[in-house]
Structure 1
Amino acid sequence: MEKELSKLTTEGRNPNSMKLSELSTAAMLEVINKEDMKVAPAVSKVLPEIEKAVEIIFEALRDNGRLFYVGAGTSGRLGIIDASECPPTFMTPPEMIQTVMAGGNEAFTNAAEGSEDHEEDGKNDLKKMGVTQKDVVVGITASGRTPYPIGALKSAAEADARTISLSCNKNSTISGYADCAIEVIVGPEVLTGSTRMKAATAHKMILNMISTAVMVKLGKVYENLMVDVHASNHKLKERAKYIVTEITNADAAEAEKTLELADWQVKPAIIMIETQVSYEEALKAIKKNNGYVGEAIAFAQK
């Protein structure tokens, strides 16, 4: 933790934005845009590490484990965003993917920057979640040296949980406490030290990749369609109808009628139309095949 902040890549001054305060609005935006273009190539360099993380998390969730994101400030907020979007997108139970944030969830809107400095708080907050060896804990910190998520990873290791770190500096301190270390190097920020910019963008991209890939592997996607979407409002019901018509070639009226019989669940509606079985038989096929639509269709056709 004694590593000097000024020596971190994320804290360096960007030579391309040294005159930022003197630029016109158009020139300022061009500088920011050019720097943002460096993020995706940086993420591409750590795809092998992201793949390892996906496999670790998939195995845990498949076996009824849980995923915990841990972070402070922007890093914690990114975890909350990704975790909160999984239930409506993939119909996951809320407890499957959770976020432990320095300062508590109220720090999502009201910054509690001092809360990140205490490793013991990270340890204690994670312990309260009852983490076990079945779970996975992801520590998120742009600098790679934030005490709070480091404490959480130490606590996770004591519980024999699998650990993953996500940072934006080479040889990050937190990497030493992770089974899988992802270090995505995006370079100095346009606004020196403001890691809510490129670093956060890179981390958002990686969290998107991780959660989406895991959900595909869990059978919550068929082809490239969200077959476990929670159709809880008009927009999502329209999306559910679209998904059913795309997969089954049924017209909109038949799709809607079947979805109503299936309590607006896309998976059983697809199987009902494709195999002409009842709602109950469709549910049985889904359960028998662990939620995988293709296998459930083949099972029901027998």
Structure 2
Amino acid sequence: MTELADPRYRDIDIWDDATALRAMLEGQMAAIAAIAPAVPALANVVAAAVPRLRAGGRLAYAGAGTSIRVAVQDGIELGPTYDWPETRTLYLIAGGERALMLGIEGAEDNAEDGRAQVAASQIGPNDVVIGLAASGRTPFTVAVLEAARAAGALTVGIACNPDAPLCAVADHGVVAETGAEAIAGSTRMKAGTAQKAILNLLSTQIMLRLGHVHRGLMVDMRPQNIKLRARATGMVARLAQVDEAAAQAALEAAGWKIKPAVLVAQGFDIAAADAALRQAQGVLRNVAGARA
């Protein structure tokens, strides 16, 4: 379906600019709406992924073209936003890293490369491997999920066509039926938007379940600049119910880590704060004796 030419748009090249733009915008809105039926499947993915990641597993993204580019955009944000270790984020890219900047013809058809990248990455039982393909049939990505599943990893297929082979070989299939594009086959549009939104939802909910969000705040973000240090100070002040001077002092004592700083501001010493967070598996809400 993602490759079809929708007859409604056959004359889009001669429409006036505003009309064409409105039509394409409507397609983007439809792409988001197409995700709604997949929410239960996404919830199942989160439930299955969190125990493996909590046990030390890695989050791996696999795909070709637009699909892997939006996946890299998603994964690269997890470090600064949630302090997710970059060493625990992998990218299995058809054509290798240079394919992120260049179109590498034929790379998506190389199933053997997909299997080789799984082997080279030593994918194992605690890892979560997310494969994305608008068509749902990209040979490289299908081969990655087949090999990763054989290695014991949790596998997730995200596609924009029903009955996608990618979803059939995965432990969990997630489908957003975005249909034909305004520009036939230009799956960087509706399909790309749907894939990025699905990843936004999925990775955020996983990070939330792992304890990186507290009361709607990114309590594991890395305060690496003036703006973010001010944000961190405000978080600690709000959560610990102290003034900003006390909040900043607690952050400095905690090496600018927000969750232990909240506890320090409430009277914990740094060693006790770190121990309490380990005991609570990093979930601030579960720390005994904390007001947060």
TM-score normalised by length of structure 1 = 0.93
Q: Do structure 1's residue 22 and structure 2's residue 14 form an aligned pair?
A: yes
AA aligned to 2:264 is: M
Q: Do structure 1's residue 287 and structure 2's residue 278 form an aligned pair?
A: yes
AA aligned to 2:16 is: S
Tell me, what secondary structure is at the counterpart of 1:113?
coil
Deviations 1:119-143 (A, max 9, x none): 1111111110001122121111000
Partner of 1:174: 166
CA apart distance, 1:252: 2.0
Paired residues for 1:64-143 under 5 Å = 64-143=56-135
Partner of 1:59: 51
Identical pairs, percent: 35
Q: Which of 260, 273, 298 pairs up with 2:265?
A: 273
CA distance in 2, matches of 1:126, 1:237: 38
Deviations 1:159-183 (A, max 9, x none): 1222110000000111221111111
AA aligned to 1:267 is: K
AA aligned to 2:263 is: I
Tell me, what secondary structure is at the counterpart of 1:11?
coil
Tell me, what secondary structure is at the counterpart of 2:237?
helix
Tell me, what secondary structure is at the counterpart of 1:95?
helix
Q: Do structure 1's residue 43 and structure 2's residue 38 form an aligned pair?
A: no
CA apart distance, 1:225: 0.3
CA distance in 2, matches of 1:167, 1:109: 23
Tell me, what secondary structure is at the counterpart of 2:227?
helix
Contact in 2 for aligned 1:285/1:300 (Cα 8 Å): no
Tell me, what secondary structure is at the counterpart of 2:34?
helix
CA distance in 2, matches of 1:188, 1:242: 46
**Which structure 1 residue ranges, 5 or more long, are not aligned?**
1-8
Deviations 1:155-207 (A, max 9, x none): 11221222110000000111221111111101111111011011011111111
Q: Which of 198, 202, 205 pairs up with 1:210?
A: 202
Q: Do structure 1's residue 251 and structure 2's residue 234 form an aligned pair?
A: no
Partner of 1:238: 230
CA distance in 2, matches of 1:189, 1:243: 43
Tell me, what secondary structure is at the counterpart of 1:50?
helix
Contact in 1 for aligned 2:129/2:156 (Cα 8 Å): yes
Contact in 1 for aligned 2:32/2:193 (Cα 8 Å): no
Partner of 1:5: none
- When the two chains are superposed, the root-mean-square deviation of aligned CA atoms in Å is 1.3
AA aligned to 2:133 is: T
**Which structure 2 residue ranges, 5 or more long, are not aligned?**
none
AA aligned to 2:61 is: Y
CA apart distance, 1:300: 5.5
AA aligned to 2:172 is: C
Q: Do structure 1's residue 34 and structure 2's residue 26 form an aligned pair?
A: yes
Partner of 2:184: 192
Paired residues for 1:148-163 under 5 Å = 148-163=140-155
CA distance in 2, matches of 1:183, 1:293: 34
Partner of 1:6: none
Matched positions, count = 291
CA distance in 2, matches of 1:148, 1:163: 14
